[in-house]
Homo-oligomer: A and B are copies of this chain.
Amino acid sequence: MKKKIRAIQYGVGPIGAAIVRLMREKQSIEIIGAIDSDPAKAGQDLGDLLGASDAPWGVPVTNDAASMLGESADVVIHSTSTLLPNVMDQLMACLAAEACVVSTCEELSYPWRKYPELAAKLDAEAKTWGVALIGTGINPGFVMDKLLITLSAASQNIESARAVRIVDASKRRLPLQKKVGAGMSVEEFRAQVAAGAIKHHGLPESVAMVSDALGLAVDEITETIEPVVARERVQTPYLEVAAGQVAGVHQIAHGYAGSKEKIYMELQMFVGATEPADTVEITGNPNLSLTIPGGTHGDIATASVVVNCIPAILDAPAGLRTSRDLPMCFLPPDANP
């Protein structure tokens, strides 16, 4: 048996905590430490911080990233922020520590279009140190892009592509219900959208990834954010939405090649959604569609995709990778490293 994969968790918010719990179930992974900027978390044992029944784990949480990254990890699981510019320094530090990186940073999932210079910088740094990094998760990273791209292998010719994800936010944690605007008035929702506070990030990244993979030559990506207004009262374990209030968010991204729409992606995330599902469609020869009835649970599945991706990123050529490039698969709990 080879040595275990030495992993550092960077960012111990709700998603980071879910990732840590899942990594603990994998015999091939050893969590050697965690980094979090919150002074209230630093200094605790990671197991204690998560309220694990088998705590303490003897795994330190620190806010001193540099010193933790000096512990020669094989991989850093990075989950601190959505926006790529905000995490550039963190990612560069991980790479310089010669660690591969799997990040949930949505804008890292396919950064070449929005941040060509940052993407080139990360790619070069990763190659300098002989490691690979990837931004992934369930969306962006899987249901609206990787699944569509995988399905496209059965295509002879492709005209256009479409992905629709409908999420019942009732079953998600309170911060997410608030993040989609549940319970707000329509005016308040629009103000929050204008302020950039209500927005799922990642649709343009998925559109760009799919366009490049399928050769759809998208040269313009637009995005709209509208409220889903509750027609009747919705009660969740955490909050109540009255009829006429906002139940959640309805986001649409279009990818155009010239004046032609080539890619359509739609995300509905609201409390009380009765038919949650992930659906992708390819128009071409043949027409193909694929549905995951009930859809995939964002938090659970993001932790899954991230942890399951660890062997593939360790095995990948050095540089900036995306879920487009890598074969994706479950990591069995008892797999050898």
Q: Known: A286-B296, A293-B291, A296-B288. Contact between A214 and B154, CB under 8 A?
A: no
Given the complex, which residues of B lie within 8 Å of A328, measured CB to CB? 149-150, 153
Q: Known: A291-B293, A296-B288, A326-B327. Contact between A146 and B156, CB under 8 A?
A: no
Residues of A223-248 contacting chain B, CB below 8 A: none
Residues of A242-287 contacting chain B, CB below 8 A: 285-286
Q: Which of B143, B153, B330, B334 contacts A329 (CB 8 A)?
A: B153
Interface stretch among A63-71, A88-96, A182-190, A303-311? A303-311
A332 close to chain B: CB less than 8 A = yes
By the criterion CB–CB under 8 Å, are A289 and B293 in contact?
A: yes
Count the copies: 2
Given the complex, which residues of B lie within 8 Å of A158, measured CB to CB? 330, 332
Residues of A282-327 contacting chain B, CB below 8 A: 285-286, 288-294, 296-297, 300-301, 303-305, 308-309, 324-327
> How distant is A151 from chain B, measured CB to nearest CB, in Å?
8
In the complex, A22→B156 CA distance in Å? 7
Q: Known: A290-B290, A305-B153. Contact between A332 and B215, CB under 8 A?
A: yes
Closest to A155 in B: B330
Residues of A136-185 contacting chain B, CB below 8 A: 138, 142-143, 146-147, 149-158
Interface residues on A, range: 35 or more
> How distant is A255 from chain B, measured CB to nearest CB, in Å?
15
A195 close to chain B: CB less than 8 A = no
By the criterion CB–CB under 8 Å, are B324 and A324 in contact?
A: no
By the criterion CB–CB under 8 Å, are A300 and B156 in contact?
A: yes
8 A-B pairs with the lowest CB-CB distances in the bound complex, closest first: A215-B332, A152-B330, A153-B328, A154-B301, A153-B308, A155-B330, A150-B150, A156-B304
Provide 26 A-B residue pairs closer than 8 Å at the C-beta atoms, listed in order of the A residue. Answer: A138-B154, A146-B153, A149-B329, A149-B330, A151-B292, A152-B330, A153-B328, A153-B329, A153-B330, A155-B330, A156-B303, A156-B304, A157-B333, A215-B330, A215-B332, A215-B333, A286-B296, A286-B297, A286-B300, A286-B301, A288-B292, A290-B290, A290-B292, A291-B291, A291-B293, A325-B327
Query: Contacts A149-B329, A153-B304, A154-B296 given; 6 further ones with Cβ under 8 A?
Result: A146-B153, A153-B329, A155-B330, A215-B332, A215-B334, A285-B300
